Amino acid sequence: MNNSKILIIEDDKPIADLLSYGLSLEGYQTRVASNGAAGISEIQSFQPDLLLLDWMLPDQSGLDICKKVTAEYNIPIFMITAKSDITDKVLGLEFGADDYITKPFDLREVIARIRTILRRLEQSNLREQSDRQPDSICFGHIEIRFEERLVNNNAKPVDLTPKEYDLLMTLVRNPGRTFSRSELLDMVWGYDFAGDTRTVDTHIQRLRKKLDATDLITTVFGIGYKFKKTGD
């Protein structure tokens, strides 16, 4: 299940409730603040992975919050506003917003855009982790050589497809973390991929067979998959 946390700063209660409910159904953890001051306080206590921010708030401008958050935190910001002028959109992006949508909006589009922002953040974090990774790593009988994109099973090279390798790397670089099938589909195949989550199941089965890794790549019932953490 998606464990990402999203803070919604929105003073219109019906809109805030709609966003919170819809995102919760997608597996996100949500919290709502009805003004800027409460929102800033929630950022410190809730530590969200993404901020869903209304432009017009009763106590201060969403732009002021955007500027403050950008200066003090590393949190992506998705602005929602009734302002549709292109100048306002550019202004919001210049103040640090990662994306922008105008009211009225389709909840499905909001969710899709949030997934895109979080996926980009995840990929950026993976690249940073990759830069800090050693040249190779071993898990029992499996050896992975990162620069060569080479995987050995009992010292013998394993012929993995590019997607099988990318899927394996996503799991290996996050040991112990449970990924939903939808998350893996978005991260490895991309949001625009026309297939469904059965693609992930098929590739997991192939990885397990090729690497003899049923004990390393485990199924989390009703959610997805994870790579065994050292010591588990």
16 and 101 part of one domain: yes
**pTM for the structure as a whole:** 0.56
Asked if residue 211 lies in contact with residue 153, where contact means CB atoms within 8 angstroms, the answer is yes
Distance of CA 177 to the CA centre of its chain: 13
Helix (H) / strand (E) containing 227 = strand 224-227
pLDDT band at 188 (very low <50, low <70, confident <90, very high): confident
Lookup: tokens for 41: 């306080």
pLDDT band at 1 (very low <50, low <70, confident <90, very high): very low
Question: Cα–Cα distances in Å, from 116 out to 85, 174, 190, 195?
Answer: 24, 19, 9, 17
Asked if residue 13 lies in contact with residue 28, where contact means CB atoms within 8 angstroms, the answer is no
Query: Given 122, 148, 172, which residue is the final one in a domain?
Result: 122
176 and 148 part of one domain: yes
220 and 200 part of one domain: yes
For residue 46, pLDDT over 80 is answered with: yes
Query: Considering the domain boundaries, does residue 129 fall inside one?
Result: no
pLDDT of residue 117: 85
Q: Where are the alpha helices (DSSP H) in the chain?
A: 13-25, 36-46, 62-72, 86-94, 107-132, 162-172, 181-184, 198-211
pLDDT band at 61 (very low <50, low <70, confident <90, very high): confident
Query: Considering the domain boundaries, does residue 156 fall inside one?
Result: yes
What single-letter amino acid sits at 75? I
Lookup: tokens for 195: 């297939």
73 and 140 part of one domain: no
At 157, which CATH number? 1.10.10.10
For residue 216, give its domain range: 134-227
112 and 9 part of one domain: yes
Task: Tell me the pLDDT tens digit for each residue of 195-220.
Answer: 677 888 999 999 999 999 888 999 99
Lookup: tokens for 201: 């199941």
143 and 52 part of one domain: no
SS3 of 43, please?
helix
pLDDT of residue 194: 57
Query: Considering the domain boundaries, does residue 21 fall inside one?
Result: yes
Query: Considering the domain boundaries, does residue 66 fall inside one?
Result: yes
Q: Of the given ranges (67-71, 105-109, 167-171), which has the lowest mean pLDDT?
A: 67-71
Q: What is the DSSP letter of 45?
A: H
Query: Given 122, 150, 179, which residue is the final one in a domain?
Result: 122
Mean pLDDT of the chain: 84
35 and 102 part of one domain: yes
154 and 185 part of one domain: yes
140 and 57 part of one domain: no
11 and 107 part of one domain: yes
23 and 50 part of one domain: yes
SS3 of 72, please?
helix
For residue 16, pLDDT over 80 is answered with: yes
Positive or negative torsion for Cα 65, 67, 72, 74: positive
140 and 111 part of one domain: no
Query: Given 94, 122, 150, which residue is the final one in a domain?
Result: 122
More confident residue, 186 or 128: 186
Number of structural domains the chain divides into? 2
At 79, which CATH number? 3.40.50.2300
Task: Tell me the pLDDT tens digit for each residue of 93-136.
Answer: 777 788 888 888 899 999 988 988 888 777 766 666 555 556 77
